A and B are shown apart, each in its own frame.
Chain A
Amino acid sequence: MSVAHDGPTADAGASVDDNETTLRERVAANPRPALLWLLGVGVLFALEMGRFAGGIRSIGAATGFVIGGVAVGPSWVEGNVAGTLGPIAGDIAFVLTAVLLLLLVAVPVRAVLPVSLVKTVGLERSSETDDFLEQVLVAAGVGAVAVLVVATPVGALVDALVAAITSVLDALSSLPTITSREVIPNQGHRLPSGGWDDTFLGLSPAAAWAIRVAVVYAYAFIALAWAWIGYRIFREHYREADWTPRDDSVNRFRNHYWGILGLVIVFSFVVMAMWAPALGPTTAEENLFSPYENEFEYLDGNEVVTVSHGTANLNSRSQGGDDTIGPMSYDDYNRWAPFGTNQDGKDLFTFLVFGARTSLVISLTAIGLATSIALGMSLITAYYKGVIDVLTVITSDTIISVPAFLMVLLLSVVFQEANHPIAAVYDGGLLLALIFAFVYWPGLWRSIRGPSLQVAEQEWVDAAKSYGQSPFQTMRKHMTPYIAGYIMIYASLLLGGIIIATAALSFLGLGVNPPTPEWGRMVSEGRSYISTQSWHIATIPGVFIVFVVMGFNALGDGIRDAIDPESNVGNGDTATTGGGA
């Protein structure tokens, strides 16, 4: 990483020699590689403009939803309290809640404010009170803005602005993107005269679908490669340091073929989840979720007739025997089924790509939570030691002492039987993620406990303390970089474990409930047909699980060897065997 000096550079220019420049100046001195790269980024961005705009729009909508929720908080509390204790108590509760919320909101606002209000206003007294005063001032500022928006015409102005931005984004997101279904449609019907109607260039649905899948993956891998090229350009042309300790890790990973294979598999899996709506030969909405409310046309004899997906699915079921719609075939309604259909006649490929989404969301949420808990606890226990360390050891030992899978089963049964509201979100997906995070953080914490204790004993941590660095900053700047590598390895290895466990739970009927697609459930549902013509229903999702888990493990191995300076992958001969063990 280079040291990017921000701040005024014009006045410094005179006294500073050419060794000390900002990234901007370095780019200005040699703009060609950077411009070429940015041009590429621009092209990639333009090709998928609609998707990006849609993404921004949904983030904006989610933010608006959260702000709205927070804003009605005080009124909601007022209503509740007024209902039981009378209107005056309600008013007091309203004010208290509003003040509390303002103080809470002030925390993140303070972090981004470039100046200290206390210093600006000149209220500095002593460092004991400054902190609190600053918080109050920021909260007051936020409150003033809120009142301005709610009670004055400024509010209408803000609304109009938001509406304008939304409509622009709407317009942008309706633009066709290169990977969208609309640009390369594959759902059409045969014409009485032969040939196909409504498909891409009149090609067969199979060909159109194959082209779309190829375009999606080509786009994703080109974007990945372009990001790598960008890093290389930065390293070669614009970074101040010739070499940083991270370079060695990157170089080691480049020569680690097993790790790269893992990266490719994991990346393909992520692409599958991200582009799920574009990859499926049909959409999840019409084929999986509400098949009877969506219709399509097909050629029956000599005339084109309309039929609902539900009806068509009934006649395309793969339940063994000769009726099976196997992989790479059309069903009786000329719908292309790359992986065949399942026992309900639903398209297996569509099910799989949306199942990838489910697996990814659950495993990433779980791993994110578990990793943050484990990292936080390991830093705190290594830094402070003593009682908090003992308490954490006892807690984690308690959780670990129950076999992990039993614990997961137990918790998921308890919550599902109780019909807890959490169990309803994402058809049980969120519940699963929370349970996994709870069950697996002690393991993660234990695996990074050694390195954390080690780094806490390093002299540079003592040195940081000895020049007065705060505990939080010491942990963040001087301890986390050392542990980050370890936690990445364990997290990527555990990710595979969570995907398997989710599948296993769904196989047992305790995981993700229908209609949300999940690979393990498909294995479970297809297993009675494994010895029949419909062998593909359980086999294909099973193979996918195996590959994805293997991919995550390989990636973990690769990262481990890359960050371990004593591993010798650079020589090539250990690279092929290193990860296989």
Chain B
Amino acid sequence: MPGEPIVSVRNLQTAFFTDKETIRAVDGVQFDLTPGDTVGIVGESGSGKSVTARSIMGLIESPGRVLDGSSVRFTDLDTVREFASEFPRRTVDVERVAGDVDPAALFDHEDVGVTPGDLGLAGRDAATVADFLAAGYGEALGLADADDCVFVTDGDPSDPDSIVDGFVELTALSGKAQRAIRGNKIAMVFQDPLTSLNPVYTVGNQIEETLALHQGLSGNAATREAVDLLEAVGIPDARRRVDEYPHQFSGGMRQRAVIAMALACDPEVLICDEPTTALDVTIQAQILDLIAELQADRDLAVMFITHDMGVIAEVADRVNVMYAGEVVETATAEPLFESPKHPYTQGLLRSIPGRQSGARLETIEGNVPTPNEPATHCRFAPRCPKAFDACDQVHPEHVSIDGAASNHSAACLLYPESMDRAEAVKGHEEGTHERGDR
């Protein structure tokens, strides 16, 4: 695996509380984003891809909420230093508050609703106090305040230069700290370039707004920077076009402008939420090339969401397949497409025209179920061609497909392949398999 992750998503749970039911749109997702790498998230509509992205950005609105126990850590050291000096009152010196607290014993606390497995840990003893603080239990345990969001694990928070390790917890952000992350550190490109630009302002005006926010540029300096950005994303005659309105741009141009806007403040992480879905195939290829180019230039960590297997094969270094709020299979791109393990992934790949076995295009029967209760069984079982009795009773753990630690894992009772079926199911039931998604 290349480099250190810059964003670590652990046990992300986002639920929407409606009068009728509670919809667990994202249920225990975990993955890492690394500079220079693209993580693809793929799945049908309603599988929770966009909600995952919005949870990371903090864009979940009432009645939705990111649940306790979720953690999204932003580990860029410069950012942690900057935040520790900017927001001293929201910074926690983890070493100091941890004192002689026994992290393993905290799992028994009445307010803590996670297991070591949920947090992606090998066992109770592997837990640290920082894990509990990041998961949002700081207040319940009396260790931190509810709005603390900067956690320094090594170094003195009052002297930013001495900090060598720590993280900003994105799910705990609010107000000014949140606005300092958005755009400046993590930027997002939305699906529809027609509606993500405000029709009443010129394109340049909107890019300048971003520049004014984070870099304090205004007037001619901002205009020049906006022109440079538009040129960087390949808009010809940028000087003239900077004063044009969004409707005067074509679809591909608009998406380029949106990307320019997202990159205006030089973020570390770019989240692309189906950026090419609204575009035709040739423009789609151009935009994908552009994103790849910009990623190479700026060492961006990219999270790429799409429902198009073809697109994901082209852009992603690592792929997470989502189904009904859960990641069901994760692997680097090549093995995933060569030998998909989860029956859902296999179904998805077979339903691409040209890859089916017979004359007719194969499909996966049925629809994605609404995940409205905690998972006690495999959510894909009703549609799964390989389902057997245990699938309705046991919720599959995320395991390495071949038992050993590898980069390819799936949440399916069929795995690990090395065990016989009864043994594998037993392991899933008791949670004794080694988790495979880290």
Contact = CB atoms under 8 A, between A and B. Distances in A.
B219 A478 contact: no
Contacts of B204: 3
Contact of B224 (A16, A458, A477): A16
A347 to B, nearest CB: 50
A481 B223 contact: no
A242 to B, nearest CB: 9
A467 B213 CA distance: 9
Task: Please tell me the size bucket of the interface on B.
Answer: 35 or more
A8 B220 CA distance: 8
A465 interface: yes
B223 A467 contact: no
Contacts of A401: none
B196 A463 contact: yes
Contacts of A566: none
B220 A470 contact: no
Interface stretch (B6-14, B261-269, B395-403, B407-415): B261-269
Interface string A474-513: 0001100110000000000000000000000000000000
Given A245-B199, A460-B198, A466-B182, A5 B209 contact: no
Highest count of chain B CB atoms <10 Å: which of A9, A19, A240, A470 = A19
B223 A460 contact: no
A398 to B, nearest CB: 22
Contacts of B264: 467
Contact of A241 (B59, B63, B178, B244): B244
A241 B223 CA distance: 15
B181 interface: yes
A152 interface: no
A20 B239 contact: yes
Interface in A450-472: 458-460, 462-470
B108 interface: no
Given A126-B86, A463-B258, A481 B182 contact: no
B335 interface: no
Contact of A462 (B183, B196, B221): B196
Given A467-B262, A470-B179, A245 B196 contact: no
The winner among B57, B178, B223, B265 for most chain A CB atoms within 10 A is B223
Interface string A1-42: 001011111001001110110000000000000000000000
Contacts of A465: 57, 59, 182
A20 B179 contact: no
B190 A459 contact: yes
Contact of A386 (B59, B62, B244): B62
Interface string B40-69: 000000000000000001010111000000
B195 interface: yes
A325 B217 CA distance: 71
Contact of A469 (B187, B209, B243): B209
Q: For chain A, what secondary structure do more than half of its interface residues adopt (helix, strand, loop), or is it mixed?
A: loop
A6 B196 CA distance: 27
A324 to B, nearest CB: 58
Given A6-B219, A20-B239, A15 B59 contact: no
A7, A463, A464 pick with most chain B CB within 10 angstroms: A463
Nearest to A469: B213
A382 to B, nearest CB: 11
A468 B187 CA distance: 9
A466 B239 CA distance: 26
A127 interface: yes
A385 interface: yes
Contacts of A15: 224
B198 to A, nearest CB: 4
Given A126-B87, A458-B195, A466 B59 contact: yes
Interface of B: 57, 59, 61-63, 85-89, 176, 178-184, 187-188, 190-192, 195-202, 204-205, 209-210, 213-214, 218-221, 223-224, 239-240, 242-245, 247, 258, 261-262, 264-265
25 contacts: A5-B219, A5-B223, A7-B218, A7-B221, A17-B239, A19-B243, A20-B239, A126-B86, A127-B86, A127-B87, A240-B243, A241-B244, A385-B63, A458-B195, A460-B199, A462-B196, A464-B198, A464-B209, A465-B182, A466-B187, A466-B190, A467-B261, A468-B178, A468-B183, A469-B179
